[in-house]
Structure 1
């Protein structure tokens, strides 16, 4: 089977993302459903309002430190793929077998489970909150539980198709819609904050004078409070997933981080403060959707604004996560760590259509499964494993390749602090949660070796791959970005 060739010489991902769009990509991923639905775990583990607010602010500072490390890495290794690209650049030439393995495992976890499962959950949440204001009008409550779930899944699949279409169609379309969603998210956050200020001015606020009463002194609980807070902040790495599409990445990556992370930190801290003005700590901890309950107390007949804000936030977050992880598919396919056709792009739109379609398919499977929260929980601690590994890459590259251009360089104390936090967040939860989740994560990593050894190490290529590659090129009008016949 002959693989389709293309004579163009300028085929590749284009630098269509400016500073504002880069800021909105970070905001799009960082502001998801968590801050609206259940920002309660940090409060529960911290034991007091005062310590909880300190932890939320500290998590923002820690996230900024980590993001600044990635900002340097993004300028030193100007490739899309974030942690994967940095692990590959740092270790791939060290050993034939073990060198590329960390990068492969990173790609394996993110592409096959973590990110598409997150997209599935976000879309299901989006549908839940889209239905909320109109559930009576559409007769949703008249359905039995099974039919309600099937109805949600049907709408979720339709939403997933829209998300996948946008990311297949063009980067400019993604940027436009993501900018709109990001602005909407920030507006929803500001509405919550002003709602709290309004109640405070009216005198309908709770007494916070004893805000540190009940503060925990248990190091394990404090660690879990930080762990849950940092999970809500996750997403600051997203702009380095699309480095090759950022205009002037040496300047816009650090700038986008320095703008977006402090803004989100301020929003998160003041939103929690607003919640605590209106709701008691016990009400927050027991609530399944804090912002919705807050809206019902403060906005009355206009409380529907909050569910719509949550729906907009989750849709934009799902869109941005899929956009980012498809670039990881693209880079891994280009490097021989994934199916080669996943690195092919549309000959006119310059989007990695095959990679986007694959992520849509995997997310579709997770939507059909329904509740995949446990699946994310067993793999999510690996995120900080990879963050820590990327920081090690920064330190190693400074030692082994000091002459590389570094338009942006963080003080050395920053990566050491970030690495300490990564180790802390990776090890501590193992003492407080069932070990079965971590054994499951280890099992999933080992399953990746089944593919790594024959297809990456020994470069085994089944003959059927020629037919598969030809089919992908025809279906997606896609061609190799590097002009290598595969």
Structure 2
């Protein structure tokens, strides 16, 4: 049953009923009706492609190939590992594409997990709440933005000037998406085009070097491509782990499908297009690096691999220009991340599980999830500014990324469960990943969950100086568990102590969105008509 939130809203609903379209989701998991105004669908095909493109390409491709080569030991094995990462990312894209076209609404994994894991009621939503609300994804690339801007200006980098510029970066991203949605999308698209141009310049310059058309000394990295291949299982594990993380972001458009024009068709085109472009560019960029930079220089370059490449190919002046381009790439990633994470917070508000849910659920006053964006901005700023440099800061950044693998394990289990229990689900999505792909994605993410617990062979290879190498994994799991503790108090202990039960009503606000409202009903009272829990 759907209720309007006020008499005025009810009158507006009668007047404007034709302006709203109901979008059915899983009727048996508590999400009976989901409504949105067609006029609020502002994300077209190009913007959807760049939502994914910008999330996948941050700053990793400009530095990560150095650590991949160092861990794998040879150019040939490094390229094979990049191909393996692309295959795993394509499998993940297929899984999210099936779920997204079957349940085309904002919220991403929240909807997919709720559709399958229905009991205990809202436990999975509580767990997911901890993951969304307590992690500041946009913080890391905001700091990287500050570092590269300072490098371009030839200003020495210290803790506070780097983080101060990072704060300006994430604040501007928050404000443009919160106050001017269309301009935020346009800026994302422009920065996506700039990233594409930068990578194409690297690719063409590298192939020109490979063909002998540039006046540089050829490094001959392909003459014996597998020379130096590591015999260390830890090295391969580390390299593959880093490559897979370079492809993360293929699900980014799934979080805003209620705002897409023709969402099913748009996602069917946008997701494969984006991952195909990114995958090809990643592979060609690696070939370009190997064609223009000696192997020893790549291994020792660390985070400045692309700078080393530009210096070799174009000269010293080009190196400063590259710092600006990498900073813009980081900014595009921040815009894409905060855009999506703000909508996840909003969806939890519409679910009714957050305190002051109406506040988080609203699109007022600028037709954007301002409070959801604000929540992610605030958490990201704390993560950026609070930790001291060194172990503490690296630890916080690692904590942010690890829980996604845990979520993806359960997303893949959900799809496997649907395939193996077809009698329980009326499941006929426009796109199907297939059971083998779902199993492959499950195994890939189990690997990502377990691999960080593999101890480094020597203390020197520990990513922390004084912390246990696995600490970020334990804390990441604890963050998800914190959502479960919140659910335990909200949905189990407090109702038991207070002698009431929670019953859910679906309200439609004047804005045209529906949201859940939980009513505390005394245990002795009959159920409210049309409500559920």
TM-score by length of 1: 0.86
Q: 1:16 to 1:405 in 2, by over 3 A?
A: farther
Unaligned runs of 5+ in 2: 14-19, 21-34, 457-468, 496-508, 519-533
State which of 465, 468, 474 in structure 2 corresponds to 1:439.
474
CA contact (8 A) 1:129 1:310 kept: yes
* SS of residue paired to 1:303: helix
CA contact (8 A) 2:128 2:480 kept: no
Structure exhibiting the larger radius of gyration computed from Cα positions: 2
Please report how far the alpha carbon of residue 228 of structure 1 lies from its aligned counterpart in structure 2 after TM superposition: 0.6
CA contact (8 A) 1:333 1:343 kept: yes
Structure 2 residue 173 is matched with structure 1 residue 149: no
Structure 2 residue 329 is matched with structure 1 residue 304: no
State which of 138, 146, 169 in structure 2 corresponds to 1:119.
138
Structure 2 residue 504 is matched with structure 1 residue 481: no
Please report how far the alpha carbon of residue 315 of structure 1 lies from its aligned counterpart in structure 2 after TM superposition: 0.3
Other-structure match for 1:464:
none
State which of 410, 417, 422 in structure 2 corresponds to 1:396.
417
* SS of residue paired to 2:514: coil
Which range moves more in the overlay, 335-344 or 412-421? 335-344
Aligned equivalents of 1:41 and 1:231: distance in 2?
13
Superposition pairs for residues 362-401 of structure 1, below 5 Å? 362-369=379-386, 371=389, 372-398=393-419, 399-400=421-422, 401=424
State which of 105, 108, 128 in structure 1 corresponds to 2:130.
108
State which of 120, 133, 137 in structure 2 corresponds to 1:95.
120
State which of 345, 368, 371 in structure 1 corresponds to 2:362.
345
CA contact (8 A) 2:350 2:515 kept: no
State which of 76, 82, 91 in structure 2 corresponds to 1:65.
91
Unaligned runs of 5+ in 1: 461-476
CA contact (8 A) 2:195 2:329 kept: yes
Aligned equivalents of 1:261 and 1:484: distance in 2?
35
Other-structure match for 1:82:
108
Aligned equivalents of 2:431 and 2:206: distance in 1?
39
Structure with the bigger RCO (C-alpha within 8 Å, sep 6+) is 1
Structure 2 residue 290 is matched with structure 1 residue 267: no
Structure 2 residue 223 is matched with structure 1 residue 209: yes
CA contact (8 A) 2:207 2:288 kept: yes
* SS of residue paired to 1:247: coil
Aligned equivalents of 2:492 and 2:268: distance in 1?
35
Aligned equivalents of 1:342 and 1:353: distance in 2?
10
Which range moves more in the overlay, 322-331 or 210-219? 210-219
CA contact (8 A) 1:77 1:89 kept: no
Please report how far the alpha carbon of residue 126 of structure 1 lies from its aligned counterpart in structure 2 after TM superposition: 0.8
Please report how far the alpha carbon of residue 149 of structure 1 lies from its aligned counterpart in structure 2 after TM superposition: 2.8
Which range moves more in the overlay, 65-74 or 171-180? 171-180
Aligned equivalents of 2:123 and 2:516: distance in 1?
23
Name the structure where helix makes up a greater proportion of residues: 1
Please report how far the alpha carbon of residue 68 of structure 1 lies from its aligned counterpart in structure 2 after TM superposition: 0.8
Aligned equivalents of 2:513 and 2:140: distance in 1?
32
Other-structure match for 1:255:
269
The number of aligned residues is 452
